[in-house]
Amino acid sequence: MQIFKVGGAVRDRLLGKPVTDIDWVVVGATTEEMLAQGYRPVGADFPVFLHPKSGEEYALARTERKSGRGYGGFTFHASPEVTLEEDLIRRDLTINAMAEDDQQNLTDPYHGQRDLEDRILRHVSPAFAEDPLRVLRVARFAARYAGLGFTVAPETLELMRQLSDSGELEALTAERSWKEISRALMEDQPQVFIQVLRDCGALKVLMPEVDALFGVPQPEAHHPEIDTGLHTLSVLEQSALYKQPLTVRWACLLHDLGKGLTPEEEWPRHIAHEHTGLKLIKAVCERFKAPKDCQELALLVGQYHTHGHRALELKASTLLELLQSFDVYRRPQRFEEFIVACEMDARGRKGLEQRSYPQADYLRGAAKAAWEVAVQPLLEKGFKGPELGEALKRERLKALKAYKDAASA
């Protein structure tokens, strides 16, 4: 029995990055031998075991063969005869197909270390094209390591293009796709993930609503970058620079989908794109079964982001309606995420990345003014039920009018 550290732990150590998760592969062992040493089985499809003390995962060396469509369409073979090189060749990228023993002696049959040094994301073997999930994984790694200068090898991008054209991407489950998408959006440069998907034709398969934004012009006075797709990438980039949570990043990606529906004869204006985009945002969220908080914020940002930009001009009654739409009194955090999504949208414009955004503090102040209206005096006046709700609304409107007057004084 031989035990090797494999995959990301080896890659990140060689890159000088922190190693968080460690994967182990066991060569020359049987299931019975692993059980006899106290390892606990957890793998449903192939032999994976938990170490009796550390709880880390140890997998028997295995080979795999394509047997159906999609991510799960494989049969696996694990036996003591499977070599380390045979196990490594089934992996996606050369930089993930290295192993080392407990003395840090490197096993690198597919030149992953050379590709690390050359900053290349390259597939290990033609079997790469058998697993459609790898299109998303490579794009995610591109987003993670773009800051270090990594790019996708042309021949790997071509395989990704073939996979995108084959119909295999449509066999991916919503759960698997969302897992990769959500992880990619939380990388340092999530806009690279979207760009790589577009470069290989996967974006038009997975998110045609986002792909449709590229080539759609906007008024240059507000959008010096002009192209709506490039603007979307810039907004996503800003959301990462400002370390925003997944909910905000997802909303930033989808906020302008309505502009993809504007007839060409109306370009570069996009009247009512906030409303026309809602059905597209909903469709994308449902396609990937995005978590409820991501769905809710994306829809709200899509509908109201132009309200955010015009916050200082809004009537007090419109401000009140905006606050109520967000249920701001019970869910203040969601309104805060809306505010920062609007700010990312404002900053995601060529040459305007450092612009100030006074609307943010203005909206926070408006929410505070409405929130501070006390209920108790209204109860003491005998208001209850629907009448209490109306009275509270009137008092909040008064407070917002006073806030607006003070802000403009």
pLDDT in tens, 53-107: 998 999 999 887 655 554 555 567 888 889 999 999 999 999 999 999 999 999 9
Tell me if 101 sits within 8 A of 66, measured CB to CB: no
| 41 Cα distance to chain centroid | 32
pLDDT of residue 399 exceeding 90, the answer is: yes
Q: Give residue 79's pLDDT.
A: 85
Q: Give residue 77's pLDDT.
A: 80
- H/E stretch holding 185 reads helix 174-185
Bridge partners of 50, per DSSP, are: 40, 57
pLDDT in tens, 254-269: 999 999 999 999 999 9
Tell me if 98 sits within 8 A of 84, measured CB to CB: no
pLDDT in tens, 364-391: 999 999 999 999 999 989 988 999 999 9
Q: What is the largest CA-CA distance in the chain?
A: 84
| 258 Cα distance to chain centroid | 20
Entry pTM: 0.93
Q: Give residue 130's pLDDT.
A: 87
Q: What is the DSSP string of 274-295?
A: HHHTHHHHHHHHHHTT--HHHH
Peptide bond into 224 cis (omega under 30): no
Q: Give residue 227's pLDDT.
A: 97
* 62 or 206, which is more confident: 206
Instruction: Give percent of the chain above pLDDT 90.
Output: 88
Q: Give residue 63's pLDDT.
A: 85
> What distance in Å separates the CA atoms of residue 242 and residue 256, rounded to the nearest whole number?
20
